[in-house]
Amino acid sequence: MKIKVYPSKIKKNAKITLPPSKSIAHRAILCAALANGTSVLSNIELSEDIKATIDAAKQMGAQMTYDNHQLTITGNHGVLPNTPHEIHCNESGSTLRFTIPIFSTLDRNTIFVGKESLFSRPLNVYEELFQTLNLMFVKHENYLSVHGPLTAGNYIIDGKTSSQFVSGLLFALPLLDQDSTLSIIEPIGSYPYILLTIFILKQFGINIEMIDKNKFFIFKNQHYEARYFKVEGDLTQFSYLSLLGILNHPITFVDFPFQSCQGDRIFLDFLHQLGIKTSQKEHELTIYPSAYKGASFDIENCIDTSLALCALGLYSQEPFLLTHVKRLEYKESNRIQSLVEEFEKLNSKIIYENDTLTILPRNPNKIRRTLNSHHDHRIFMILFLLAINENKPIIIDHCECINKSFPSFLNLMKSLEIKFEIIKK
């Protein structure tokens, strides 16, 4: 489907609540699925990615019901059904990378099925690990076959590709019958997400001992504990939605998670670095339209905020520089290529060299009126939020991709009185 986005001003005195954190929800669902007893997870949105993790949790033997954004999960007591499994991951990298080690605790064959775009993303860390352990790991265009059992030991894995490989092992190793260590070779991409995993594990009774920044001790025979858990607002999505306030009209975020463990909390620091006008009271944060100059940002630990920074770069008085961006090539699309192509249509230029993006201020004249999301939810969102600030309507292809992470996005935009229409042909 296509969407036609019209120039719009968001309504006055706009107040919104962030959607629930997808990163936290993935982790909490898996912990609850492995727990002894029944957990209640509140503030859950059924994006396509979260649905994939729910389906994987059911394959683990967990039972669950969903009602009014609340997920009730009766766990499997840390014991997976000892049968072959087929896990449908759709396009969720988190689901795939988190659950490969969990299902590999079984001496059984497990097949992971998904879109080709999912299996074009790197899995080399697990592939090399499984080869070292003499375990089966066979990758195809749209599925992966693995066979355990994963055993306790002293693990050493590369950290530069994705923190999700580390998190996947941290979910599985506490279930094993001997202690393990996990060492990570630097550089480590998105390190705060490893800390987020350790924090969520602790909420569900799992203890990971940090020997140093890059080495962890995992105690044997641990038991996940059921609990009530509320998923806080998503700070990755905040980085995008903040553009409404900076580029359009003041907006207030209510129930804002100021004390969050989410790595993308650093985006607030980026806004302060740029001199963006904000105000804060109790649990509310208001963002105001602001002028700003160029700046440089290291996004190694907050890669998903990069598109929001690129968008800000279009309206800057000076160039923006983003460093450590290479992992953008391995997302739902090659986001570097996607950004270069789509920003060129907006009469802006992005230069990519030496693991760095340079975003040059745009010339608002002679822009093209049809843009392509590249079937990438984050590319779509950034193009939509830029389109409302243009002086003529813009059409964006493949708007349905937003359901991957933020299915309520268009309803939220409608509530803010942003004008758009879906073109189904």
- Residue 184 C-alpha from the chain's centroid: 21
Tokens of 172: 């599985």
71-92 CB burial, b ≥16 within 10 A, e <16: bebbbbebebeeeebebbbbbb
Q: Which two tokens stand for residue 369?
A: 């009126």
Q: Could you tell me the two tokens for 153?
A: 């030991």
Cα–Cα dist 84/82, whole Å: 7
What six digits make up the tokens of 220?
Answer: 């044997």
Task: Name residue 102's amino acid.
Answer: I
Residue 231 exposed, middle or buried by CB count within 10 Å (0-12, 13-18, 19+): buried
* Angle, CA 298 vertex, CA 356 and CA 118 arms, to 5°: 70
- The helix/strand/coil state of 369 is coil
Question: Which residue do the tokens 């804060």 mark?
Answer: 280
Quick check: 92 and 118 in contact, CB under 8 A? yes
DSSP characters over 72-111: EEE--TT---SS-EEEEEET-HHHHHHHHHHHTTSSSEEE
Q: Which of 304, 355, 376, 397 is catalytic?
A: 304
Looking at the DSSP bridge assignments, the partners of residue 184 are 157
**Sign of the dihedral through C-alpha 159, 162, 168, 170:** positive
CA–CA dist 337, 377 (Å, integer): 15
304 belongs to the catalytic site:
yes
Residues recognised as catalytic:
304
